[in-house]
């Protein structure tokens, strides 16, 4: 039984009809070098770990695409880039899918009060990518509080958006503190007559890597990421072509560190501080949920839109198909379904989120979804699951991640293959090894059989693409 829009059904009765509240937490640019996924990491995320202790942590979760706009569009519509043509940060996702209901619209149509704050859709072009039809009420992401001049003393390294350091002094002046405050109030004052879907978009650790001074303390010993010299020697032409536009991030960092020694280390520490800050804001929202009488009837989801390279494989930023750019934190808490503190090692990608939330909330399935519900894994993390995770970045460029292997095929047909049991850093490309022909064939069968043409970019005069 569905809730009709505007129908005044007491919330308690709605809960009996298996329509729980939903708290939907999105983090921007958080990779797997956090204590949630790496117990040895110096980047502590106690609130993410607290949330994982209440439900299920997916240890092999992956974005649908390693860039903000295509990742969020795919997750929130349930349609892959190969279906929609939304491959880049400028792609007009709503123009490509004018009649497609987002997951929030599905819940609105079912009678939910849908609220949100922060970065849900891509933040580029002053909110032009936002979708008003997805929310009953929404607080846009606050403008970035910028220092009077770049803190990293590197005017030659990118724009003002490519900066890092302790800023601002007051936590209340940050983007995410304001988004968290909105969500805290929503949890304190939910609708009395219907369930609520609350989306909270946490912007950090997205660049610029600014976090208040307190979050930079105790980070002096954060090590540099592990790298292999000449790591690109065994990369195919497809990788070279794909990475050409973003190569300046790493070469520029090398030049900057030569001019101002320690700059690269400061960059890493600033990212770590932003992760800690992000975790703290999520903790504030989780505290508000804990104080809510509806906490035991709320499905909680936390995911990152993609990972982030900090110099691994001589790469900085996202925009790649390697593990570090695609492996993400992903937690689900489903009362009565997930076992507290459980872990699932099956590979999943974020196109699964749309159908899974429909199922958990008692809403009808949507056969148009490209992903499938992972409800069976929520009930039993060891359930049979042969499906790998699939990632796409740009037309014809795809990665398939199984439990053991990462297989990448580029638009020019060249390939990479990495064995994660022996090579977790992906330093040795095995694609040319005759011994692994069968492994490659097994992974090739999961590649998309259709490739939508790229849609037009959404443009605004005088604007530049955001990272």
CATH number, domain at 143? 3.40.720.10
Question: Shortest CA distance to 358 belongs to which of 303, 299, 306, 289?
Answer: 299
Check residue 307 and report its DSSP letter.
-
Q: Is 122 a catalytic residue?
A: yes
Band (pLDDT 50/70/90 cuts) for residue 1 is very low
Given the residues 19, 63, 122, 183, select the one marked as catalytic: 122
Burial of 381 per CB tally in 10 Å (0-12, 13-18, 19+): buried
> Model's pTM, two decimal places?
0.94
Given the residues 19, 63, 68, 327, select the one marked as catalytic: 68
Give Rg (Cα) of the chain.
21
**Separation of first and last alpha carbons in the chain:** 43
Report the alpha-carbon distance of residue 101 to residue 107 in Å, rounded. Answer: 10
Task: Specify if 421 maps to a domain.
Answer: no
Task: Specify if 334 maps to a domain.
Answer: yes
Task: Specify if 173 maps to a domain.
Answer: yes
Check residue 292 and report its DSSP letter.
S
Q: Is 68 a catalytic residue?
A: yes
Residue 10 has pLDDT above 80, yes or no: no
Band (pLDDT 50/70/90 cuts) for residue 18 is confident
How far apart, in Å, are the Cα atoms of 28 and each of 63, 72, 204, 320, 358?
A: 11, 10, 6, 16, 23
Band (pLDDT 50/70/90 cuts) for residue 460 is low
Task: Specify if 105 maps to a domain.
Answer: yes
pLDDT tens figures, 247-276: 999 999 999 999 999 999 999 999 999 999
Total structural domains in the chain?
A: 1
Band (pLDDT 50/70/90 cuts) for residue 125 is low
- What is the signed CA dihedral for 393, 395, 401, 405, rounded to 10 degrees? -110
Q: What angle do CA 276, 279, 281 make, to 5 degrees?
A: 115
Residues sharing a CB contact under 8 Å with residue 152, sequence separation 6 or more, in sequence order: 163, 164, 165, 256, 263, 266, 267
Task: Specify if 229 maps to a domain.
Answer: yes
Task: Specify if 328 maps to a domain.
Answer: yes
Task: Specify if 53 maps to a domain.
Answer: yes
| Least confident segment among 17-26, 185-194, 347-356 | 17-26
In the predicted model, what is the mean pLDDT of residues 442-457?
Answer: 96
Contact 74, 350 (CB under 8 A): yes
Task: Specify if 84 maps to a domain.
Answer: yes
Residue 7 has pLDDT above 90, yes or no: no
* Segments forming the whole domain that contains residue 169: 19-388
């Amino acid at each position: 039984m569905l809730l009709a829009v505007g129908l005044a059904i007491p919330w308690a009765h709605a809960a009996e009809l298996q329509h729980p509240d939903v708290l939907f937490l999105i983090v921007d640019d958080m990779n797997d070098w956090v204590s949630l996924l790496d117990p040895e990491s110096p980047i502590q995320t106690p609130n993410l770990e607290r949330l994982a202790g209440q439900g299920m942590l997916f240890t092999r979760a992956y974005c649908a695409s390693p860039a903000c706009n295509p990742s969020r569009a795919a997750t929130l519509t349930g349609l892959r880039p190969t279906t929609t043509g939304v491959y880049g940060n400028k792609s007009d996702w709503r123009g490509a899918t004018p009649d497609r209901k987002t997951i929030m619209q599905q819940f609105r149509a079912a009678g939910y009060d849908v609220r949100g704050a922060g970065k849900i859709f891509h933040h580029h072009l002053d909110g032009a990518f936002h979708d008003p039809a997805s929310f009953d009420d929404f607080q846009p992401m606050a403008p970035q509080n910028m220092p009077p001049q770049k803190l990293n003393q590197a005017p030659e390294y990118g724009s003002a958006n490519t900066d890092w350091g302790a800023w601002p002094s007051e936590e209340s002046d940050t983007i995410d503190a304001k988004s968290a405050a909105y969500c805290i109030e929503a949890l304190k004052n939910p609708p009395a007559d219907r369930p609520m879907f609350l989306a909270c978009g946490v912007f950090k650790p997205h660049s610029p890597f600014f976090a208040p001074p307190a979050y930079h303390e105790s980070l002096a010993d954060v090590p540099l990421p592990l790298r292999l010299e000449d790591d690109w020697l065994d990369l195919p032409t497809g990788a070279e072509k794909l990475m050409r536009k973003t190569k300046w991030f790493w070469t520029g960092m090398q030049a900057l560190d030569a001019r101002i020694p320690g700059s690269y280390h400061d960059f890493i520490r600033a990212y770590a501080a932003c992760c800690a800050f992000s975790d703290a804001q999520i903790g504030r929202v989780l505290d508000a949920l804990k104080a809510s009488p509806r906490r035991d009837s709320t499905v909680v989801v936390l995911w990152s839109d993609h990972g982030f390279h900090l110099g691994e494989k001589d790469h900085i930023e996202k925009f790649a198909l390697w593990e570090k750019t695609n492996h993400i934190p992903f937690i689900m808490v489903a009362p009565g379904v997930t076992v507290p503190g459980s872990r699932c090692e099956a590979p999943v990608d974020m196109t699964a989120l749309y159908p899974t939330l429909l199922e958990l909330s008692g809403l009808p399935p949507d056969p148009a979804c490209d992903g499938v519900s992972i409800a069976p894994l929520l009930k039993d993390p060891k359930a049979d699951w042969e499906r790998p995770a699939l990632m796409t970045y740009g037309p014809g460029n795809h990665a398939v991640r199984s439990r053991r292997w990462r297989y990448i095929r580029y638009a020019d047909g060249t390939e990479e293959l990495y064995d994660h049991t022996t090579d977790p850093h992906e330093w040795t490309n095995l694609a040319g090894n005759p011994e692994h022909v069968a492994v490659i064939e097994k992974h090739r069968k999961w590649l998309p059989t259709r490739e939508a043409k790229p849609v037009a970019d959404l443009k605004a005069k005088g604007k530049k693409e955001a990272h």
